[in-house]
Structure 1
Amino acid sequence: MCTRVQVMHEPAFRDVIRHKSAQQVTYDCCNGWTRESPNADACLKPVCSTACYNGGICSAPDTCSCPTGFTGRYCEQDINECNDKKPCDQMCVNTMGSYYCKCREGFLLQDDQQSCKKIGDLLSQGSHDDDAFEARDMENEIESQEDVTARLQKIEKMLANEKVHTHDLEKTLQNTYKMEKQQFDINRLQTNLYNTETRTLKLEGMVNLLMKCRNGPNTHCP
């Protein structure tokens, strides 16, 4: 009987799974800033924790740029142009974000919406007098009693503050004078102390010399 090797082939299957890791770097915006869009890289859009009022624009973190007529951190305050600028010849009416001027009876508001002229003066000038200059009537210069009182109170307050500042300055000068006098006294005491120490050293030297001369005469003895 002959021995032989028989080769047999059988199909085999193997699943191959490959894992590939990837790294992605993400950036966070600093406090007070954000991206203009989710896909944007730069953080260029400021963030205001409170929305800007009256048409204000968030221009920096928690800071609003206000339109004309408004102020405040978030543009929440109306500017009273009538008190701050006094733009009208006669009467000024403050509105939200703006103002408008009015004239008293017998006067007419001009094209600039600020000046007032007597109606009689306008009739005498004629409709073709375009070069006539605008001047305030003496009546325009007369302020109401409330305005005069408010101005006087403001002046009195300024004078009171000036007195307080003057008093503080006098106290500061007095304290400075006292400090200079104390420093002068200290310098004088230091000088006297130095002179006393010098004389003491001289006396000690003379005493030591006398003691040596008593013990035995030498060339240094008087």
Structure 2
Amino acid sequence: MVHQTSYRPAYSPQTTRQVSYNCCPGWSQISKISHGCGRPLCSSSCQNGGSCVRPDSCSCAKGFTGSSCQTAVCSDSCQNGGSCVGPDSCECPTGYTGPMCQTAVCSSPCMNGGRCIGPELCACPSGFTGQYCQTDIDECESKPCDQHCVNLPGSFECQCKTGFTLLEDGTSCRNCQDQFPTEARDLVDVEILAKRVQKLEEKRLRRGEILRVSSEGDNTVMGSGAGSNEMALEAETSGTLAELGRKMETFTQLIQDLKTQLTNVETRQQEQWKLIQKTKSTETIVRRVVPLCKQVSLMQQRMDQSVELNTTSALANYATEAGI
């Protein structure tokens, strides 16, 4: 007997059970085989490292905010027109720099102690000017000194002629050789008149020399024209001297007025000093009296309490003795 192997189809029935979930809006399954609807859905993707934690709600990384974490946050506002582009990071306009765009930029450094306060703009100290404070101001152009002015870098210095002393204000010169010291600016008119007198004297001497030479050379006598010139010269000289005299009288009166004003000021200062001393003395007395007043008031309160207590005690004793 011969055996032969043969095959035939065979089927084994299997039953598969699969659960499907119908999730609420805004939620889904984490994967096809996961159980429940534990995955929130955000219609817009969370940016800058944020994660979706609720339907259309992102949990943002530090330094960002917004529904999709799209907005950077700067703890301090960006200054001078800058815009926040990252956590505490500003994008600055031209001419400014720094984390918050707080620092102005000058392509050339400000000189002579100047400060850069804007794009290519320097704030200069007194005595300097220019875009970068590179130019020294000549203060002597405004003639701040009584006599001589010397321009210095960023400043100036006043100097006085021989016989004058520079005062504490640094600009006035006072003549200390006179009995009544005067300032140089008060002598301007007098000096001008003195120069006029000197010129007239020189003119008179020259004309006298011309007359003498003419008389010796020609043996002639000058006519009425020469006499009239001499008279005019003498009249001009007399007028100038008279004007000088008037100026001196006015100047003397001004000095007297100034001395009177100074005396009045000194008197007022002494009165103010006395008043201040009197006020200080009064304050000392007040500081001593106030504690005494408080102490007397406290003693009065204690006495009132003692009287009231004694009265109450006496009434109680009386009631006890009377059998009330």
TM-score in terms of structure 2 length:
0.31
From the CA coordinates, give the structure whose radius of gyration is larger: 2
TM-score in terms of structure 1 length:
0.44
